[in-house]
Amino acid sequence: MAQFNYLNELNSLATIDGPITRGPLQRWVKKSGAENMNPTLSTSKNISNANLSGINQSMHKLSVSANQSCNNSILSANKTPTRADIRKNKKTPSKNKSPGRSTTPTPNKASKTPNKADRFIPSRSNTNYDLCHYMLTREEEKSDEPTLATEALSKALGEADQGRLLQYTCKAPAAPEGYQNRLRVVYSQAKVPSTVKNTSRYIPHSPDRILDAPDIVDDFYLNILDWSASNILAVALGNAVYLWNAGTGQIEELMCLGGNDPVCSVQWVQGSGSHLAVGLSSGIVELWDCEKIKKLRAMDGHSARVGSLAWNLYVISSGSRDGNIVHHDVRQRDHNVATINAHTQEICNLKWSPDGKYLASGGNDNELNIWPLAQGHHYTQSQYLYSFRSHLAAVKGLAWCPWSNGILASGGGTADRTIRIWNVNTGANISTVDTKSQVCSILWSSHYKELISGHGYANNQLVIWKYPSMARVADLTGHVARVLHLCLSPDGTSVLSAGADETLRLWKVFMLDPAKKKDPVDTKAAKSLLNMNSLMR
């Protein structure tokens, strides 16, 4: 019976009267919307013709022809039809749902597969995942050979080698010591320039005025220059004292000593008074009324020259070569209210703090002593509060900070060459900077957080320092000999330097910003009583 079943199947395959219902529908038939038609109609005709010709030829070759017809039907069913076949079999779809249409919803109706090809599904069993992972994750090997673009750019820039472009062949030279780049603020700010606070200012590096000072004594231990609150400058030249009106430029001679003994120190009284204390080589301290050009009194107490003076209200403190500090109360007949054995060698400088609580004394014995105020008085106790011995040379430069209580700056001589900042409230040395030259004088600015120092060998310059970093802001050169002394103008904008080259130089280094300038301080000079020929120009 098996052979009859086989013949029945062959007959059913060769029959062209009815549709072939076996086998899945082709994709192109589904896409063309002709599911209601027999998808294998044209193919069946070809198969039927091939099978009929095989049956008519010979019946004994039935099995062979059947196998060939089966193979041909499979190949023909898998073949993608042409556009002509699609147009021939395509019919206008009906609005009604076709009975033969599948009811299974399509996963993605929006995406349509092209008619000519299908997506590629690789054979995962033949895929080498290790090799793929290695090829995707490995870094590309950098070729040492330059590209055409690199060669062209290198040739245009004149590079001889194939190295990195736009590089220095050698390290850039370092800027000179103390150089300040004025564009540093412009290129170092991260904010918008219009909202950035302007921190730079112009500092003139040449003096505004130069005055002649003949017969000035070249002595490191003397203090021969002071500027009063009335805008009058007192300067000791040899054995005489002259007054220079900074407002009118008029010169007056206050006093002149007989002989060759020089005037050693001058100091104006605090406030806008017209009284001037003068220290002499004989150990006498004289008090003068500069308005009346009259000596008021002479006060003794020292056995050697008086090289430093300092006022604290009505008490004048004097320091001498004998190492003693004498406090004089100018109101009393017995002026000597206290004598202190302060140093073992000459006292180079004396400075009262702005609040009047401490007196700083620097000596040729390399010591800096801080003396506290005696309770209920305006002179110091006999025992020092601190004695600093960090300097390696005479301590001549002394200055109290006007806007920070208890901060003191001190400078040493040739063997030391350092500026030290002290906090007398704690006794700590805040900072130290090596100036590389003798420190003769120090001043604090009242408008900026800066201080200025005058120096001797070897540069003979003035240096502005930024506080508290102690970075150099500017170097002012011009003196050909050491700078003996410095003094600040009453408005705090100008500095006058006295040099051993017999010149006085006026430097306007602390000028205020015009946009932030406050109301001008009344610095009207005291009326001059003498009209002498100008000794300075």
Q: Are residues 367 and 436 in the same domain?
A: no
Q: Are residues 377 and 401 in the same domain?
A: no
Q: How many CB atoms lie within 10 A of CB 393?
A: 17
| Residue 320: inside a domain | yes
The pLDDT score that the predictor gives to residue 150 is: 78
The pLDDT score that the predictor gives to residue 173 is: 75
| Residue 447: inside a domain | yes
Structure tokens at 317: 């403190």
> pLDDT class for 492, splitting at 50, 70, 90?
very high
> pLDDT class for 4, splitting at 50, 70, 90?
confident
Domain end, chosen from 337, 371, 389, is at 389
Q: How many domains does the chain have?
A: 2
Q: Which of 362, 419, 426, 370 is nearest to 395 (CA)?
A: 362
Model confidence at 139: pLDDT above 70: no
| Residue 146: inside a domain | no
Q: Are residues 378 and 252 in the same domain?
A: yes
Integer CA distances (angstroms), 134 to 139, 142, 432, in order? 10, 17, 62
pLDDT tens track for 166-183: 555 666 777 777 676 666
Q: What is the CATH number of the domain that holds 484?
A: 2.130.10.10
Domain end, chosen from 333, 354, 389, is at 389
Q: Are residues 357 and 276 in the same domain?
A: yes
| Residue 102: inside a domain | no
Q: Are residues 338 and 416 in the same domain?
A: no
The pLDDT score that the predictor gives to residue 354 is: 92
The more confidently predicted of residues 527 and 328 is 328
The pLDDT score that the predictor gives to residue 9 is: 78
Q: Are residues 374 and 409 in the same domain?
A: no
The pLDDT score that the predictor gives to residue 141 is: 55
Q: Which residues of 254-274 are buried (b: 16+ CB within 10 A; e: fewer)?
A: bbebeeeebbbbbbbbbeebb
> DSSP code of 302?
-
Domain that holds residue 472: 397-512
Model confidence at 110: pLDDT above 60: no
Model confidence at 499: pLDDT above 80: yes
Q: Are residues 360 and 495 in the same domain?
A: no
| Residue 520: inside a domain | no
Q: Are residues 321 and 224 in the same domain?
A: yes
Q: Which residues of 196-206 are buried (b: 16+ CB within 10 A; e: fewer)?
A: eeeeeeebeee
Q: Are residues 441 and 327 in the same domain?
A: no
| Residue 408: inside a domain | yes
Note whether 267 and 246 are within 8 A (CB).
no
| Residue 171: inside a domain | no
Burial class (CB in 10 A: 0-12, 13-18, 19+), 446: middle
Percent above pLDDT 70 for the chain:
67
Q: How many CB atoms lie within 10 A of CB 354?
A: 14
Burial class (CB in 10 A: 0-12, 13-18, 19+), 211: buried
Integer CA distances (angstroms), 316 to 36, 286, 287, 378, in order? 127, 11, 10, 10
Q: How many CB atoms lie within 10 A of CB 237?
A: 23
Q: Are residues 320 and 348 in the same domain?
A: yes
Q: How many CB atoms lie within 10 A of CB 424?
A: 20
Q: Are residues 374 and 225 in the same domain?
A: yes
The pLDDT score that the predictor gives to residue 185 is: 52
pLDDT tens track for 61-84: 444 444 454 444 444 444 555 555
- Share the mean pLDDT of the chain: 78
Question: Positive or negative CA dihedral for 423, 428, 430, 435?
Answer: positive
Least reliable range by pLDDT among 128-132, 167-171, 227-231, 466-470: 167-171
| Residue 196: inside a domain | no
Q: Are residues 286 and 357 in the same domain?
A: yes
What is the rounded average pLDDT of the residues 449-453? 95
The span from the CA of 537 to the CA of 528, in Å, is 18
Model confidence at 418: pLDDT above 90: yes
Domain end, chosen from 389, 410, 436, is at 389
The more confidently predicted of residues 14 and 305 is 305
Model confidence at 451: pLDDT above 60: yes
The pLDDT score that the predictor gives to residue 99 is: 47
The pLDDT score that the predictor gives to residue 157 is: 67
Q: DSSP secondary structure string, 475-504?
A: EE---SS-EEEEEE-TTSS-EEEEETTTEE
The pLDDT score that the predictor gives to residue 396 is: 94
Model confidence at 124: pLDDT above 60: yes
Structure tokens at 174: 């370092």
What is the rounded average pLDDT of the residues 21-50? 56
The pLDDT score that the predictor gives to residue 117 is: 54
pLDDT tens track for 332-370: 999 999 999 999 999 999 999 999 999 999 999 999 999
The more confidently predicted of residues 267 and 57 is 267
